[in-house]
Amino acid sequence: MECLKKADTPCAQVALAGINPASPYAKILEAQIAAGGQDYDTVLRLLIPLQAEENLLPAALASLHATLALAYENQGNTLRAVEQRSQADAYLQTPETRAANQKQLIDSLIALPKNALLEIRGESADTAVQGWIDLALAIAHSGQQSTALAQWRQAYPDHQADEAALGAQSAPASTNALAQTLTGKVALLLPIGTPAFAFAAEAVRSGFIAAQKAANSPAEVAIYTTYGRKDEIAAIYRQAVAEGAQYAVGPLTRGEVAGLLEPELISVPTIALNVLDEQSATPAKLVQFGLPVEEEAMQLAKIARAQGMQTAVIAAANTPLGKRMAQAFASEWTEQGGLVVLQVEFNEQSNLLGFKTQLASERADMIFLAANAEQARWIRPYMNQAIPTFALSHIYDGNPANPDNSVLNAIHFVDMPWLLNPDDPSYSAYRASSSELPPNAQRWFAVGVDAWNILSALAVKSAEKMQLRGLTGTIMLDGNHIQRELPLAQFRGDGVALE
């Protein structure tokens, strides 16, 4: 049994030779050996029938369920893996092994997007497993984590999750040990010298430095001025690396990021602060992180479909940005099985009464409003306010006290937690640095903070997949791909509120 307690494959091979091969203990040892060789089909063949065995020793039961969990994890079946780890927890003998098992369990769940968690929750009738899934939702997908965890504890007072594990999981990114160990020289490439982009660039710089201070990192941050031009960025990047930069963050504009795709240019881990089309080939050391409207539109389409919406009207501002929003939403909406019954554009010269009549002529479950805050304010009175209306983050100016936003009441939208829940205790390390920034700079400040924490995680942690609770959203990293998940909020009479 000592081999099972230690999950020691060589020990198991020796022990197996002295046990009756028909014994359930022999099969558990054989499965442990198979798992060590990554033969997970054999693990499942040996162990699934043993789940009905009674009177096995606790160490054997712990090994059985933990080994099954490993097999399911490697098959991508998170729900079955969680079920097995939840069962293993009852038989683990030491606080250390329980803590390790619980950490692996919750880590596997918080790596999933919210819609996937909701889907597997509906597939499980096990109260303990539902509790684990709800805990993952509270940790990774709630706007106010401390409140969500308190509500979770009330809902599951007898759940097996240890307080120590909860505390470890709910630690904010700014106090994460990964973020405290980044050393070396970081080149921050920003268009500070270009009037069109200087405002955003300065806010990004402020957020980046604020995160470095919060992490108490000794890293050297060197600012390299860019000018928003694609043909100049490669030379600036090479200069930064030649001067000793071990990491690079930036540039900020899409054109400059496209300039980084020059063959064999990217030689150090680099976080670009904008996102190109998926068709663009990305160098292995380049991570693209930004606030693309396409990602938000796709997420919003999934949220609306999950709420039961089937038909949609798309009302889009006749601008390049409005068209991008509308196209991204329509593509994902139809991919999810939704139907677009009408798509109409508007601008300041539109016949607004005609616009109102056109919208009223089509019956739909929802309206997707592809517009910024100013555009939304003057078109909203001509829309049927009884129909649920959804929008992207551009509809919110970041000022919850702005009386001009009252016309937007009842509109649902996705946006970053930093703007929707600024009083979250985990953001306290950044408030002083951001207090003098106007509302329209806060988004870029949040980008700077998250860029630092993403770089720190990539520099320190070797895992291919990881998740960060960022100011811009829940950030999932998979190799050099980033997915950002946003909470849903709504305009109300007293400002904005998380849903």
| CB atoms closer than 10 angstroms to residue 461 | 15
Q: Say if residue 292 is preceded by a cis peptide, omega within 30 of 0.
A: no
pLDDT in tens, 262-300: 889 999 999 999 998 766 678 989 999 999 999 999 999
- Can you tell me which residue has the tokens 């291919």? 464
- Can you tell me which residue has the tokens 């190109």? 276
Share of the chain above pLDDT 90, in %: 58
| CB atoms closer than 10 angstroms to residue 60 | 21
pLDDT, residue 193, reads: 84
Q: Which of 336, 169, 189, 187 is nearest to 252 (CA)?
A: 189
Q: How far apart are CA 118 and CA 138, in angstroms?
A: 12
Q: Which of 368, 238, 256, 357 is nearest to 309 (CA)?
A: 368
Q: CATH classification of 294-415 is 3.40.190.10, yes or no?
A: no
Q: Is the pLDDT of residue 168 over 80?
A: no
| CB atoms closer than 10 angstroms to residue 308 | 8
Per-chain mean pLDDT for the chain: 88
Q: How far apart are CA 328 and CA 350, in angstroms?
A: 23
Q: Which residues of 191-302 form beta strands (DSSP E)?
A: 220-225, 247-249, 270-272, 286-288
Q: Is the pLDDT of residue 341 over 60?
A: yes
- Can you tell me which residue has the tokens 């268009």? 191
Q: Find out whether 199 and 164 touch, Cβ atoms under 8 Å.
A: no
pLDDT in tens, 423-479: 887 788 999 999 999 999 999 999 999 999 999 988 876 556 777 889 999 898 887
pLDDT band, residue 166 (cuts 50/70/90): low
Q: How far apart are CA 176 and CA 130, in angstroms?
A: 27
Q: Find out whether 40 and 75 touch, Cβ atoms under 8 Å.
A: yes
Superfamily of the domain at 177-290+426-459: Response regulator (3.40.50.2300)
- Determine the Cα angle at 245 with ends 244 and 246, to 5°: 110
pLDDT in tens, 347-397: 989 999 999 999 999 999 999 999 999 999 999 999 999 999 999 999 999
Q: Is 445 helix (H, G, I), strand (E, B) or coil?
A: helix
Least confident of 45-54, 227-236, 488-497: 45-54
Q: Find out whether 224 and 240 touch, Cβ atoms under 8 Å.
A: yes
Tokens at 187, concatenated:
């080149």
Question: In the β-sheet with 247-249, what is the strand arrangement from edge to edge?
Answer: 220-225, 185-190, 247-249, 270-272, 286-288
Q: Which of 431, 434, 475 is nearest to 176 (CA)?
A: 475
Q: Which residues of 328-399 form beta strands (DSSP E)?
A: 339-346, 366-370, 389-391
φ/ψ of 361, rounded to 5, equals -75, -15
φ/ψ of 314, rounded to 5, equals -110, 120
pLDDT, residue 164, reads: 56
pLDDT in tens, 239-266: 999 999 999 999 999 999 999 998 899 9
Tokens at 442, concatenated:
């806060």
φ/ψ of 472, rounded to 5, equals -90, -5
Within the chain, all domains assigned CATH 3.40.50.2300 are found at: 177-290+426-459, 294-415
pLDDT in tens, 344-359: 999 989 999 999 999 9
